[in-house]
């Protein structure tokens, strides 16, 4: 009896204590759009006067709380958390982190590097072929990102004594635009020794993962995904993205 996984070990996961990291960031464009959208709402309900300038310096806690719920990147991140919870991962093993700057990214990553076992990383942000970008740019962070203690080495998938592929756990997934189109994803996979997913085209928020279905922006509902839809910008053919396997040195 697999009591810990509702007698279904294929769907659910043993709560081993390994941590799943989910990070999200945003761009100046998103900040400005949020400020524009909420101008009236913020003025009337939050009793705060903010400038529509794409800068967060004048935001207070109430605004941040609201943004944490309305940002599409946050909604995608919390949708992922929901998925992991549904797969049987205990809430205490999932960490969702908002990244507000490159300095913030550095600090958070240093903290993550101290964790014993990281089983997965989902990174929701803008991006391009050079890699994922946090608010106001990632600088050269990705060139020198510390190695995380990934939960296990990449496992060979062996069937009848023959290696037919890889079991992609642990994993790192980057959902920003075009993150698969440069050297970033392969370099990350090699340096971190982890199967890495990245996007082969411009990413879009969608209600579903297989075909692109528009979301209500600035809403607070979940079931929001950020993926690239390769076929005519409508159909996603590669799931969480193109996979990059660490190459032997």
Partner 1 sequence: MVEGRYLSLNPNKVRKDENVKKIILTGITILLIIIIMWYYVYLLGIDTKYAIKFSQVFGSYNIKRVDQFLNKETAISYRGITKTYEQLRNNVMVAFEERRFKMSEGSSYGNGNNKFVNGVQEIQIQSYVIYDDISYSVPITMRLKIKGINKFMVKSLSSDAAFFGYLFYRESIKNDLD
Stretch that binds partner 1, among 10-18, 27-35, 39-47, 58-66 (CB under 8 A): 27-35
Bridge-based pairing state of the strands 126-128 and 94-98: unpaired
Q: Report the Cα 169 to chain-centroid distance in Å.
A: 16
Binding of partner 1 at residue 181 (CB under 8 A)? yes
Instruction: List, in sequence order, every residue forming a beta bridge with 156; answer none if it has no partner.
Output: 166
**Residue 106 C-beta: closest distance to partner 1, Å:** 13
Residues in contact with 39: Cβ distance below 8 Å, sequence separation at least 6, in sequence order: 50, 52
Q: How many residues bind partner 1 (CB under 8 A)?
A: 24
CB 133 within 8 A of CB 27: yes
Binding of partner 1 at residue 213 (CB under 8 A)? no
Bridge-based pairing state of the strands 126-128 and 242-244: unpaired
In this chain, which of 17, 29, 152, 237 binds partner 1, going by CB under 8 A?
A: 29
Stretch that binds partner 1, among 13-21, 58-66, 176-184, 237-245 (CB under 8 A): 176-184
Q: Of all helices (H) and strands (E), which one includes residue 232?
A: none
Task: Report angle CA 240, 148, 122 to the nearest 5 degrees.
Answer: 25
Binding of partner 1 at residue 202 (CB under 8 A)? yes
In this chain, which of 89, 109, 133, 185 binds partner 1, going by CB under 8 A?
A: 133
In this chain, which of 5, 12, 32, 52 binds partner 1, going by CB under 8 A?
A: 32
**Footprint of partner 1 (CB under 8 A):** 27-30, 32-33, 54, 126, 128-131, 133, 135-140, 177-178, 181-182, 202
């Amino acid at each position: 009896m697999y009591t810990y996984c509702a007698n279904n070990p294929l769907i659910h996961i043993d709560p081993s204590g390994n941590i799943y990291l989910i990070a999200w960031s945003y761009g100046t464009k998103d900040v400005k759009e949020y400020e524009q959208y909420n101008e009236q709402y913020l003025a009337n309900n939050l009793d705060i006067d903010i400038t529509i300038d794409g800068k967060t310096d004048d935001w207070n806690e109430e605004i941040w709380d609201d943004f944490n719920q309305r940002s599409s990147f946050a909604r995608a991140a919390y949708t992922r958390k929901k998925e992991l919870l549904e797969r049987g991962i205990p809430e205490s093993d999932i960490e969702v982190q908002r990244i507000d700057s490159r300095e913030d990214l550095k600090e958070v990553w240093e903290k993550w590097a101290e964790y014993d076992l990281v089983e997965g990383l989902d990174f929701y942000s803008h991006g391009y072929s050079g890699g994922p970008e946090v608010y106001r740019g990632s600088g050269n962070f990705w060139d020198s990102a510390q190695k995380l203690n990934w939960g296990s080495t990449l496992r060979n998938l062996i069937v009848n004594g023959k290696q037919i592929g890889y079991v992609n756990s642990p994993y790192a997934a980057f959902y920003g635009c075009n993150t698969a189109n440069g050297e970033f994803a392969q370099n990350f996979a090699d340096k971190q020794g982890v199967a890495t997913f990245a996007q082969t085209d411009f990413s879009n928020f969608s209600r579903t993962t297989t075909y692109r279905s528009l979301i209500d922006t600035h809403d607070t509902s979940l079931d929001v995904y950020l993926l690239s839809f390769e076929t005519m910008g409508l159909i996603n053919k590669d799931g969480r993205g193109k996979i990059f396997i660490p190459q032997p040195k």
